[in-house]
Structure 1
Amino acid sequence: MLTSVLVSKSQYSSTAEHTPSENKMLEERHTAQAKRRKYFRRIFMYRQMDFDYAMWQMVYLLLSPQKVYRNFQYRKQTKDQWARDDPAFLVLLSIWLCGSSVGFGIVLSLGFVGTIKFLLWVVFVDCIGVGLLIATFFWFVTNHYLKMSSKQFQQVEWGFCFDVHLNAFFPMLIILHVIQPLLYTPLISYDYFLSTLCGNSLWLVAMGYYVYITFLGYTALPFLKKTVALLYPPSITIFVLYIVSVIINWNISKSLMYFYKYRVK
């Protein structure tokens, strides 16, 4: 606690030392638009991207997601922003999307054109499109309903909300777009109860990862309260749907495979 007090005092004194014009320049530098320009500009600067750190994040999103968000807290302390300023994670995620889409194209026998269509759907609709909606939803909810009354001056960055979505999306991608296609033909594609249990369990684990990593992301923000509301309601809903689908022998994986083939026709 003493450390946090000293840090806040040093930040205050350093801010007070700036002239009004310097303070204005600092504020402009930290605007959302300036951060966005810097982020997208770095996409074309390969040498400035830290791919080793992005790979480390991907590994620990699968093994220990808490460690990833501890580094988000460190970024806030050093760079005064919660959202990523390095697009390396997004670039690597795009590579994973391309590779997994090729695998899906082979498993579903989509052909070259069908595989390209599938890739475009996955990238621009499943990942980015849905991500924009989810990030905007959580940005609105957290800023209006989950902030502590004493911390109203602090804002949840929209970019951080989108980063949380990308973090949660990566384990889903590995489970549903890498592991699932490998198991689909030999095990999941049949009408047996075991096939339904296996396929639906993959979806349960994938959705569980998404909800849990999303919860961890917003819990990492010290000015939010009652973030447990982001964990239990969706988790219970997903588990109930899983139990019902297994009881009635509805193979979710098989149904979605048919849907994937239908939408690229």
Structure 2
Amino acid sequence: MNSRDSLLPSPVPSATGKSKARFKWEPATMSALKKCQKFLTRLTRVNHMDFEFALWQMIYLFISPSKVYRSVYYRKQTKNQYSRDDPAFVVLLSFWFIISATGLSLVLQLPFIAFIKFLFWVVLVDCIGIGLIVATVFWFVANKYLRKPNLPKEDVEWGYAFDVHLNAFFPPLIIIHVFQLFFFNVLINSDWFFARLFGNTLWYISAIYYTYITFLGFSSLPNLHRTKYILYPLVPLLFFYILTLISGVNICRVIMDFYKYRVY
């Protein structure tokens, strides 16, 4: 990418040593802070959010995830950033958190206080907490090991890595926290092999969605290669899935018991 196309100011030629490192770090930090500030500011401007496009993204994350990432290139060309600048997707995702937490509370017959605890746990721990770790790991690995050589240096944005996590998190949220609830008491919560097969298959499908969407997110960046390695965890996950069926472990029941344990 040419320097004239970047949001970052040109480096100071006379800066050396610690001064040079300081000039390289500060502009990038300020740019990230400005993007974050702009994103948070738009959270208060509902009229500026494109909910129709965000809903389209959510639908296509299920039926054709690759189409979601085709817009990433155009965002880079028009706004000079890969990360999402419209909080509409996050707002809609928040509504799904409330819906899923309400449904699970009804299925598990949780009191209101337990519902609030569960909602905060899913949002702050499962989504944001784990997402911060996953996004940071992929951000580091992508910049350190997956960047193509002999190309102008362009770091993968941390905000984009977190966007990939949010995209990948949405299908498992719907499958495990919404769709599963319709079958838990009538089918999954039993000792039948078919019940275990059905429930564990839902979890494996969710893992496939998360891994595949994460792969698409990073493979769509033109400055990265060898992103196929992101798909490799699906192999041990397949063996783990088969092992749970053979050993009689019902993953859905285990997780549901954990949900009840952590809110009481």
Does the pair score TM above 0.5? yes
Shift of 1:149: 1.3
Contact persistence 1:108–1:261 (CA under 8 A):
yes
1:250 is paired with a residue whose SS is coil
Q: Which amino acid aligns with 2:154?
A: Q
1:241 alignment counterpart: 240
Q: Which amino acid aligns with 1:180?
A: Q
2:21 alignment counterpart: none
Give unpaired runs (5+ residues) of structure 2.
Answer: 12-26
- Aligned partners of 2:180, 2:10: CA distance in 1, in Å? 58
2:233 is paired with a residue whose SS is helix
Deviations 1:96-119 (A, max 9, x none): 001110000000111111111100
1:36 is paired with a residue whose SS is helix
1:194 alignment counterpart: 194
Deviations 1:181-220 (A, max 9, x none): 1110000000111111000000010010000000000000
Contact persistence 1:168–1:214 (CA under 8 A):
yes
1:146 alignment counterpart: 146
2:162 alignment counterpart: 162
Q: Which amino acid aligns with 2:64?
A: S
Contact persistence 1:218–1:224 (CA under 8 A):
yes
- Aligned partners of 1:247, 1:151: CA distance in 2, in Å? 49
1:5 alignment counterpart: none
Assess, with a 3 A threshold, how the Cα gap between structure 1 residues 197 and 150 changes in structure 2: closer, same or farther. same
2:87 alignment counterpart: 87
Contact persistence 1:188–1:199 (CA under 8 A):
yes
- 1:66-215 → structure 2 map (5 Å cutoff): 66-151=66-151, 153-215=153-215
Deviations 1:130-166 (A, max 9, x none): 0000000000000001101123611000000000000
Deviations 1:241-261 (A, max 9, x none): 001101111100000100000
1:250 alignment counterpart: 249
Q: Which amino acid aligns with 1:264?
A: V
Q: Which amino acid aligns with 2:55?
A: M
Shift of 1:13: 7.4
2:38 alignment counterpart: 38
- 1:27-66 → structure 2 map (5 Å cutoff): 31-66=31-66
Q: Which amino acid aligns with 1:255?
A: V
- Aligned partners of 1:216, 1:208: CA distance in 2, in Å? 12
Assess, with a 3 A threshold, how the Cα gap between structure 1 residues 28 and 133 changes in structure 2: closer, same or farther. closer
Shift of 1:237: 1.3
- Aligned partners of 2:80, 2:182: CA distance in 1, in Å? 42
1:150 is paired with a residue whose SS is coil
Contact persistence 1:28–1:34 (CA under 8 A):
no
Contact persistence 2:169–2:210 (CA under 8 A):
yes
Assess, with a 3 A threshold, how the Cα gap between structure 1 residues 191 and 44 changes in structure 2: closer, same or farther. same
Q: Which amino acid aligns with 1:105?
A: S
C-alpha RMSD of matched pairs (Å)? 2.0
Assess, with a 3 A threshold, how the Cα gap between structure 1 residues 53 and 248 changes in structure 2: closer, same or farther. same
Runs of 4+ in 1 over 2 A off after TM superposition: 11-15, 27-30
Deviations 1:49-73 (A, max 9, x none): 1100100000000110010000111
Q: Which amino acid aligns with 1:205?
A: I
Assess, with a 3 A threshold, how the Cα gap between structure 1 residues 132 and 12 changes in structure 2: closer, same or farther. closer
Give unpaired runs (5+ residues) of structure 1.
Answer: 1-7, 21-26
Q: Which amino acid aligns with 2:215?
A: F
What count of residue pairs does the alignment treat as equivalent?
247
TM-score normalized by structure 2?
0.89
Shift of 1:12: 7.1
1:24 alignment counterpart: none
Identity of paired residues, percent? 49
